[in-house]
């Protein structure tokens, strides 16, 4: 007997960024075909009674098969990274493709295509990290990347080998604006950090705990303010990644209120851990070294308020997996001083269970906010037009959650290539039990069903559109500019 639909998920509670309702959902040819109170038939029927049926998570900030600024390769490749993402409720991710100085953008994309296409089990795109904005990159190579559907460019204001400087950031913002791309920024004042490092080093303060002091809150706040000012000068949209401070979040909130075209995220680690974790015995604190660094309890509370209040468009993992051994954290030796320990921590699988348990079940965010911050906003902001929604016609990228499943996070249950998880021992309630990508099962009842390389590259639409207004710098008006036309 032939059926009208390939799959029907029945009996569940459907949750979107806008509403929650009981219904069945039918899938055909990898797309959501229809939603109705009751749908009969189908080749395969999945019982979602007592479960939540949501758009699959979209992980918009993760480092997969990527060399860090200091040349350390992340532990996860596109297979382990995507499998781990899927077990964490994600059906799509957007890792970084990083340009290191001297590399052409075309060669970077070719390298990452070679890493991703044969391996990923979920759909993917890349944000391009630009560290070398040469005239050729700006005039030719970034527009070509954009034409391939890579519509977001990330820049660093810190790390000597990646920092593009203010003029470089202005140039990249200008190119991005011209093409409808979105510039993402890691905002920390590089000189403040270097100055602190020098003083700490002179004082012999090299243990992991000093990492927190070395990257002051003011370094983030100043850089966020500066990055927004640069974006406003050229009237380009900006996405501020991994906001970790009260002051930084307050600046973002104020600018959003004023209508500035700015987007922002925070990450679970800034909500779950504090700088006291960097002071664990021996070198254990190295597991918690990430940049910007972990802060304090008051900051956690303030950041949660900004998650609840809508300052942050998404909560992303910033999954940057470096093992607790000489291939990762300790590439420079087991007792390396903190500035020589790899920056970053894993979290791609924990992001959504943590946000559900600590956000939804505590009442800090609604189910609608959960879907928005885990999936729909990333789809809208980063031009993933076929994802992040349960609307008919969209890709059937779906996560089915058991909202009552209690689990203790254990390293041995993880699917990444890491040898630790910072979330070890944490009890979380609510977990994804089924994840589908374009209608195909990726994870179901604890088992992986996907084939290596099943994920596809997603060419994205222009990024960075939103309800906010632009900003017009008066200096570019013909009258103020003495008749010149220097508008970006």
Contacts to Zn ion by CB under 5 A? 186, 318
Distance separating alpha carbons of residues 362 and 352, to the nearest angstrom: 14
* Number of residues lying near ligand URP (CB under 6 A): 8
165 to 194, contacts with ligand URP by CB under 6 A? 186
Residue 318 vs 397, nearer CB to Zn ion: 318
Residue 343's binding partner out of ligand URP, Zn ion, none, with CB under 5 to 8 Å set by partner kind: ligand URP
If residue 25 lies in a helix (H) or strand (E), which one and from where to where?
Answer: strand 20-28
216 to 255, contacts with ligand URP by CB under 6 A? none
Q: Decide: is 464 part of the binding site for ligand URP (CB under 6 A).
A: no
Contact 388, 376 (CB under 8 A): yes
Residue 290's binding partner out of Zn ion, ligand URP, none, with CB under 5 to 8 Å set by partner kind: ligand URP
Q: Decide: is 290 part of the binding site for ligand URP (CB under 6 A).
A: yes
Residue 211 vs 471, nearer CB to ligand URP: 211
Question: Which tokens go with 227?
Answer: 């990055």
| Distance of alpha carbon 185 from the chain centroid | 12
Residue 295 vs 438, nearer CB to ligand URP: 295
Shortest Cβ 344–Zn ion spacing (Å)? 7
Residue 343 vs 421, nearer CB to ligand URP: 343
Shortest Cβ 52–Zn ion spacing (Å)? 29
Q: Which segments within 284-413 are labelled E, that is strand?
A: 314-315, 398-408
Shortest Cβ 48–ligand URP spacing (Å)? 36
Residue 286 vs 379, nearer CB to ligand URP: 286
291 to 310, contacts with ligand URP by CB under 6 A? 291
CA dist list (Å): 377 to 49, 89, 172, 221, 328: 27, 16, 23, 24, 32
Shortest Cβ 22–Zn ion spacing (Å)? 39
Residue 89's binding partner out of ligand URP, Zn ion, none, with CB under 5 to 8 Å set by partner kind: none
Residues with Cβ within 8 Å of residue 91, at least 6 apart in sequence: 55, 56, 57, 58, 122, 123, 387, 397, 398, 399, 435, 436, 437, 442
Residue 193 vs 431, nearer CB to ligand URP: 193
Shortest Cβ 42–ligand URP spacing (Å)? 42
> For the purposes of burial, counting CB atoms within 10 Å of the CB of 51, is it exposed (0-12), middle (13-18) or buried (19 or more)?
buried
Q: Which segments within 187-241 are labelled E, that is strand?
A: 238-240
Shortest Cβ 65–ligand URP spacing (Å)? 14
Distance separating alpha carbons of residues 54 and 408, to the nearest angstrom: 23
Distance separating alpha carbons of residues 279 and 126, to the nearest angstrom: 35
Residue 186 vs 232, nearer CB to Zn ion: 186
Shortest Cβ 434–Zn ion spacing (Å)? 28
Question: Which tokens go with 384?
Answer: 């993933």
Distance separating alpha carbons of residues 403 and 375, to the nearest angstrom: 17
Q: Which segments within 52-204 are labelled E, that is strand?
A: 52-55, 57-62, 90-98, 123-124, 127-129, 152-156, 182-186
Q: Decide: is 343 part of the binding site for ligand URP (CB under 6 A).
A: yes
Q: What is the DSSP string of 294-308?
A: P--HHHHHHHHHHHH
Q: Decide: is 389 part of the binding site for ligand URP (CB under 6 A).
A: no
**435, β-bridge pairs:** 399, 443
Q: Tell me the per-residue interface mask from 28 to 67 with ligand URP, x by CB under 6 A, - otherwise.
A: -----------------------------------x----
Q: Decide: is 320 part of the binding site for ligand URP (CB under 6 A).
A: yes
The residue behind tokens 């991703």 is 116
By beta-carbon distance, which residue lies closest to Zn ion?
186
Q: Decide: is 90 part of the binding site for ligand URP (CB under 6 A).
A: no
Q: Applying CB under 6 A, which residues contact ligand URP?
A: 63, 186, 290-291, 318, 320, 343-344
């Amino acid at each position: 007997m032939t059926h009208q639909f390939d799959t029907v998920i029945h009996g569940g509670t459907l949750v979107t960024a806008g509403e929650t309702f009981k219904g069945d959902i039918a899938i055909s040819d990898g797309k959501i075909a229809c939603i109705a109170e009751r749908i009969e038939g189908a080749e395969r029927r999945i019982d979602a009674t007592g479960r939540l049926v949501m758009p699959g998570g979209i992980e918009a900030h993760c480092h997969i098969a990527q060399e860090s600024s200091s040349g350390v390769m992340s532990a996860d490749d596109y297979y382990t990274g995507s499998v781990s993402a899927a077990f964490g409720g994600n059906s799509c991710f957007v890792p970084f493709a990083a340009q290191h100085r001297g590399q052409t953008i075309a060669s970077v994309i070719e390298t990452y295509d070679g890493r991703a296409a044969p391996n990923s089990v979920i759909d993917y795109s890349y944000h391009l990290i630009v560290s070398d904005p040469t005239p050729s990159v700006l005039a030719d190579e970034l527009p070509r990347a954009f034409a391939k559907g890579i519509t977001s460019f990330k820049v660093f204001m810190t790390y000597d080998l990646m920092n593009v400087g203010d003029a470089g950031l202005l140039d990249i913002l200008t190119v991005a604006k011209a093409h409808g791309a979105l510039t993402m920024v890691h905002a920390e004042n590089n000189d403040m950090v270097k100055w602190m490092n020098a003083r700490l080093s002179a004082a012999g303060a090299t243990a992991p705990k000093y990492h927190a002091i070395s990257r002051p809150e003011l370094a983030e706040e100043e850089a966020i303010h500066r990055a927004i000012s640069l974006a406003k000068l050229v009237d380009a949209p900006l996405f501020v990644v991994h906001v970790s401070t009260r002051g930084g979040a307050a600046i973002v909130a104020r600018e959003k209120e004023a209508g500035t075209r700015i987007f922002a995220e925070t990450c679970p680690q800034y909500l779950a851990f504090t700088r006291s974790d960097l002071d664990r015995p021996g070198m254990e604190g190295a597991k918690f070294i990430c940049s910007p660094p972990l802060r304090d309890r008051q900051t956690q509370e303030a950041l949660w308020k900004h998650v609840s209040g809508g300052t942050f468009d998404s909560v992303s993992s910033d999954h940057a997996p470096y093992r607790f051994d000489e291939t990762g954290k300790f590439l420079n030796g087991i007792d390396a001083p903190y500035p020589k320990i790899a920056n970053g921590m894993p979290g791609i699988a924990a992001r959504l269970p943590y946000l559900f348990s600590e956000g939804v079940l505590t009442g800090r965010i609604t189910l609608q906010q959960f879907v928005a911050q885990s999936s729909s906003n990333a789809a809208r902001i980063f031009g993933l037009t076929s994802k992040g929604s349960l609307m008919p016609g969209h890709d059937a990228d779906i996560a089915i959650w058991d909202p009552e499943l209690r689990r203790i996070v254990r390293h041995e249950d993880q699917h990444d290539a890491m040898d630790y998880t910072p979330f070890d021992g944490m009890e979380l309630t609510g977990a994804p039990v089924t994840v589908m990508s374009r209608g195909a099962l990726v994870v179901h009842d604890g088992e992986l069903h996907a084939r290596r390389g099943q994920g596809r590259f997603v060419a994205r639409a222009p990024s960075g559109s939103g309800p906010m207004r632009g900003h017009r710098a008066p200096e570019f008006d013909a009258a103020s500019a003495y008749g010149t036309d220097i508008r970006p």
